[in-house]
Structure 1
Amino acid sequence: MPAPQNTFKAALKRGEAQMGCWMGLADAYVAEITATAGFDWVLIDGEHAPNDLRSILSQLRTVQASSSHPVVRLPVGETWMIKQALDIGAQSLLIPMVESLAQAEDLVAAVHYPPKGTRGVGAALGRASRFGAIEDYATTADAQICLLLQVENLAGLAELDDFLKLDGVDGVFIGPADLSADMGFLGNAMHPKVIETINDAITRIKNAGKAPGILTTDPAFQKSCLDLGASFVATDVDVFRFANAIRQAASDAKALRGG
């Protein structure tokens, strides 16, 4: 029995746009609600949300039971973190702040078993192989891992063309918030110069045959990114959605009593 097919990776290879949602509330119950919404993919955020390995695992279980595909963003691209995430069953990883070719090469190695890579051969102990029930896991897992690099500063953009030459990199996600800050426009991710830079990056990624990705809550920019060829686009964030709705609910409640 081979490793489960990564339907998200397959869709990206076919050039089919995948629409997603960011999950930062770090709770499996909330993740279950989000997973029923119908997004193609949802991101479990381990960088800016209070997630650890066990909370990521609980959300993975929940999302994998739905039609949405879980993508896990780790805090950093440490080999041991990648190994643990893969062993608990994550098949798609987004690694933040990739800045150098050497770093990108290390990430490619970390998600592949020897001889191609350096991933530790211990998945028979883990959930990824269904605790050893998937007998062919070790020989088939590599093909189902989706590695997404997050480029979010000028140093990373300077290396982008080299990243795109790497076999084993499936896509590159451009991070507007950090990129705009690095360009001198902190808090203004929609500055024209930032948009121009992002558009250029998306075009280069697409032309190299990789999947371009972005998170933006601006509908017009979402559409323009899709028109340029972005193929994994997150359009909302659970934290924003809940925070805005609950604040409005409180405001409406106070209005009922006349202020």
Structure 2
Amino acid sequence: MPHGAGTPTWGKLMTADRQFDLKARLRDDGPGLACWLMLGSTAVTEIMARAGYDAVMIDMEHGPMGFSEATEMLRALNGFDVAPLARIPANDPVYLKRILDTGVTGVMVPAVQSAADARQAVASCRYPPDGHRGLAATVVRATGHGAFWQEYLAGVAERLTLICQIESPEGLTAVEEIAGVDGVDMLFVGPFDLSAQLGYLGQPDHPEVQKAVQRIERAAKAAGKLLGGIATPERGPERLIQAGYDLLIANSDVAHLRAGADASIAQFRDLKAKHAPG
């Protein structure tokens, strides 16, 4: 069916006017690459989407963005075949309700430390009777401001990707139970926080940290859940793919900008030295 033909479903009308089911895409097409969006810039968001990432992760935990800025960033994704995701500041039902109402198709919950935490996140993402997400579907952006709210209600539980980040000793201890919670779609390794809390600050590739990471990897696979993670100095995208990761975040908008600026300055200084008098 040509784009725009027929009666559009809520999925086709979401942020990028395309049908998004990130879970199905990752399972059918293999691992995907995402980029952290830290700057809150709509222009940067558009540039990253145009580059061809499978997903972008609006980072509301460490970035300065609030819900208004995140909404504008989602608007910048319109027309691009990229899954709009967001990491919220904490496992809070209000945060989850508000970010879901903006129209993201996946959410990352940081610092999940127990099966109870995971069940709370699931319940916060689901409408009654399966959860306690507040219902404003007739007016929020996720439903075209009410244009297709009934279709949204009928499909959101299946299409939403709920990502639980494991990044603490408590989360590691309970990782098998967290992985077993119905409604958790992906375990996401947080190697930097995990390394710090295990006593190896700034050493995400330390052997003891990697033992912990491997436990998370095994738990996700044993439970049939998707596995996501961040590239580290010694475990880049190729090694993560070899380890069976489904979603990789290897970079951020900040890192791209910094690397580009550093390279430009270095190149100019080399030219300046080459053409210096004498």
Give the TM-score, by structure 1 length.
0.93
The match for 1:65 is: 79
Letter in 1 for 2:171: G
Distance in 1 (alpha carbons) for counterparts of 2:203 and 2:119: 32
Q: Contact 2:172–2:212 at 8 Å: present in 1 too? A: no
How many angstroms does 1:40 deviate by?
1.0
Matched, 1:51 2:58: no
The match for 1:163 is: 178
Say which of 224, 243, 246 aligns to 1:209. Answer: 224
Alignment of 1:133-212 (within 5 A): 133-134=147-148, 135-212=150-227
Alignment of 1:218-237 (within 5 A): 218=233, 220-237=235-252
How many angstroms does 1:100 deviate by?
1.9
Q: Contact 2:112–2:118 at 8 Å: present in 1 too? A: yes
SS at match of 1:117: coil
Q: How many residues align?
A: 259
Distance in 2 (alpha carbons) for counterparts of 1:107 and 1:131: 24
Compared CA separation, residues 170 and 102, structure 1 to 2 (3 A)? same
Which digits, 9 at most, give the CA deviation of each residue in 1:148-167, with x for residues without a partner? 00110111011111111111
Query: Which deviates more, 245-254 or 34-43?
Result: 245-254
Distance in 2 (alpha carbons) for counterparts of 1:2 and 1:119: 22
Which digits, 9 at most, give the CA deviation of each residue in 1:30-68, with x for residues without a partner? 110010111111111111111110111111122242112
How many angstroms does 1:188 deviate by?
1.1
Q: Contact 2:231–2:240 at 8 Å: present in 1 too? A: no
Distance in 2 (alpha carbons) for counterparts of 1:46 and 1:26: 9
Gaps of 5+ in 1: none
Distance in 2 (alpha carbons) for counterparts of 1:6 and 1:253: 43
How many angstroms does 1:172 deviate by?
0.7
Which digits, 9 at most, give the CA deviation of each residue in 1:65-104, with x for residues without a partner? 2112121011112111111111111120001111122211
How many angstroms does 1:257 deviate by?
4.2
How many angstroms does 1:122 deviate by?
0.8
Give the TM-score, by structure 2 length.
0.87
SS at match of 1:85: helix
Which of the two has higher C-alpha Rg?
A: 2
Q: Aligned residues: percent identity?
A: 31
Distance in 2 (alpha carbons) for counterparts of 1:32 and 1:189: 31
Letter in 2 for 1:239: V
SS at match of 1:233: strand
Say which of 128, 131, 145 aligns to 1:114. Answer: 128
Q: Contact 1:108–1:169 at 8 Å: present in 2 too? A: yes
Distance in 2 (alpha carbons) for counterparts of 1:68 and 1:217: 24
Gaps of 5+ in 2: 1-7, 12-18
Q: Contact 1:148–1:170 at 8 Å: present in 2 too? A: yes
Say which of 3, 10, 15 aligns to 2:10. Answer: 3
Distance in 2 (alpha carbons) for counterparts of 1:59 and 1:15: 26
Matched, 1:20 2:27: no
Query: Which deviates more, 181-190 or 128-137?
Result: 128-137
Compared CA separation, residues 3 and 168, structure 1 to 2 (3 A)? farther
Q: Contact 1:199–1:225 at 8 Å: present in 2 too? A: no
Compared CA separation, residues 151 and 54, structure 1 to 2 (3 A)? same
Report the aligned-residue RMSD: 1.9
